[in-house]
């Protein structure tokens, strides 16, 4: 059993969406050895959309399902990594048609984003048409290696098409070292109650089958 | 494959260590539909020792290894749940001798704590002698269903005996529904860089073998 870590590292200098300062995580040491405490303790303040995280319907749909949707059944799943590193702008139906998309799978979109360690405002995203294509195929979830699954779509169509069908969105993946293929995805988010998203330590397990 | 969620739910009213108000997580909605934003976004402030979490050596040992120790190799492992629900005060060598403790396993201590949804100042813990016994057996990690693995030991001996040997400590488990036996533990903490602990969505996988 080989395990790949596909998560971003969380720290104050990390890449955050649109480089917004207010989105940076803040770490505060509340007890420390130099104070004679005999222990170190730290407190973190972070957006729930920091680094590798999952969106629930409530992120984009008023009254939608919140983080209670993040059960193990919904977030541990067969996953297929699809290589779209040749795509320049957005992934659409014409790109997806070249791949085998399976019902019930998490589809993880590997793009040039995985090779960039800064916020690129022109990051590769999933187009509205691409989201419709994947929703029609009955996928369980869609992951991408950008902090957002779409950009410059004021109506947030990509998010809404997926979330309205209960298809979970996994953002902020790091897929540079992951070959196209099938894996078992462990992407159960932190169990924060009543929220619209939560951060994750996401892992891919390569089994022998 | 059956998956058990052994994590605490994180919310402002949850159980926190010694009921300290300053240890409660705080959720702040930063964007919302009622403001016309078309989306909801939330920020969290939380202790890294909130709910289900893992301690690195740096928690109790000045200059000890920090969260870089939380690799998949160290946090995804064979695990054995041991039933100590009959123990009243602390788990010591005499209790552990009755169980089969395997080198390289995570040992998860199931106690009366799993049946309490409040902070009990007399929670069942692992004694210094118990920690020495487990360290001698070469376990990979030790988990317990309390927010601390020890109490009323001013020198934090239980923590230090384990952490000095690089044995990871998993606290805040919920094991009420988990029968004694062998599982595959997925307990990779959130990937926060340079800290002494991190929260986890911890899962146990029951395989067919």
- pTM of this prediction exceeds 0.95: yes
- Cα–Cα distance, B129 to B96 (Å, whole number): 10
Q: What is the pLDDT of residues B74-120, one digit of tens each?
A: 999 999 999 999 999 999 999 999 999 999 999 999 999 999 999 99
Q: Is the pLDDT of residue B208 over 80?
A: no
Rounded to an integer, the average pLDDT of B182-201 is 98
Per-residue confidence (pLDDT) for residue A209, from 0 to 100: 56
Q: What is the pLDDT of residues A83-118, one digit of tens each?
A: 999 999 999 999 999 999 999 999 999 999 999 999
- Cα–Cα distance, B192 to A201 (Å, whole number): 10
- Cα–Cα distance, A72 to B5 (Å, whole number): 7
Which alpha helices (DSSP H) does A47-127 contain, by range?
Answer: 72-75, 93-96
Per-residue confidence (pLDDT) for residue B201, from 0 to 100: 98
Please provide the average confidence, as pLDDT, over all residues in chain B: 97
Q: By C-alpha distance, which of A164, A169, A182, A188 is closest to A75? A: A188
Report CA B178 to chain centroid distance, whole Å.
Answer: 15
CA distance B98 to chain A (A): 31
- Contact call for A42 and B196, based on CB within 8 A: yes
Per-residue confidence (pLDDT) for residue A37, from 0 to 100: 84
Q: What is the pLDDT of residues A46-81, one digit of tens each?
A: 999 999 999 999 999 999 999 999 999 999 999 999
Per-residue confidence (pLDDT) for residue A3, from 0 to 100: 98
Residue A143: is it exposed, middle or buried by C-beta count within 10 angstroms (0-12/13-18/19+)?
A: buried
Q: Where are the domains of chain A?
A: 2-206
Residue B19: is it exposed, middle or buried by C-beta count within 10 angstroms (0-12/13-18/19+)?
A: exposed
- Contact call for A10 and B45, based on CB within 8 A: no
Q: Is the pLDDT of residue B48 over 90?
A: yes
CA distance A97 to chain B (A): 30
Q: Is the pLDDT of residue B205 over 90?
A: yes
Q: What is the pLDDT of residues B18-42, one digit of tens each?
A: 999 999 999 999 999 988 889 999 9
CATH of B3-7+47-206, one of 3.40.50.720, 3.40.640.10, 3.50.30.50, 3.20.20.370: 3.50.30.50
Choosing among B50, B67, B201, which should be mutated to test the A contact, i.e. which has the most A CBs within 10 A?
A: B201
Q: What is the pLDDT of residues B53-77, one digit of tens each?
A: 999 999 999 999 999 999 999 999 9
- Contact call for B33 and A62, based on CB within 8 A: yes
Is A53 assigned a catalytic role?
no
Per-residue confidence (pLDDT) for residue B209, from 0 to 100: 56
Percent of chain B past pLDDT 90, that is, above it, reads 95
Whole-Å CA distances, A143 to A108, A150, A153, A191, B40: 4, 12, 18, 19, 20
Provide the pairing of β-strand B181-186 with B41-47: unpaired
Give, in words, the CATH class of A2-206: alpha beta
Q: What is the pLDDT of residues A25-53, one digit of tens each?
A: 999 999 999 888 899 999 999 999 999 99
Report CA A162 to chain centroid distance, whole Å.
Answer: 13
Report B:129-188 residues touching A (Cβ under 8 A). Answer: 156, 186, 188
CA distance B87 to chain A (A): 28
């Amino acid at each position: 059993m080989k395990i790949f870590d596909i998560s971003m590292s969380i720290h104050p200098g990390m890449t955050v969406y649109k480089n917004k300062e207010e989105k940076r995580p803040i770490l505060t040491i509340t007890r420390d050895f130099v104070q004679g405490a005999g222990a170190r303790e730290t407190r973190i303040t972070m957006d729930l959309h920091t680094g590798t995280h999952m969106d629930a319907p409530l992120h984009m749909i008023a009254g939608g399902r919140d983080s209670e949707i993040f059960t193990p059944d919904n977030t541990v799943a067969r996953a297929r990594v699809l290589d779209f590193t040749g795509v320049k702008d957005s992934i659409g139906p014409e790109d997806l048609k070249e791949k085998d998309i399976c019902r019930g799978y998490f589809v993880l979109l590997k793009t040039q984003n995985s090779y960039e360690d800064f916020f690129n405002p022109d990051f590769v995203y999933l187009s509205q048409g691409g989201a419709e294509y994947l929703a029609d195929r009955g996928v369980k979830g869609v992951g991408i290696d950008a902090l957002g699954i779409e950009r410059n779509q004021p109506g947030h169509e990509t998010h809404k098409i997926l979330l309205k069908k209960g298809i979970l969105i996994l953002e902020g993946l790091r897929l540079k070292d992951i070959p196209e293929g099938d894996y078992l995805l462990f992407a159960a988010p932190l169990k924060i109650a009543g929220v619209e998203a939560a951060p994750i330590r996401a892992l891919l397990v390569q089994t022998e089958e």
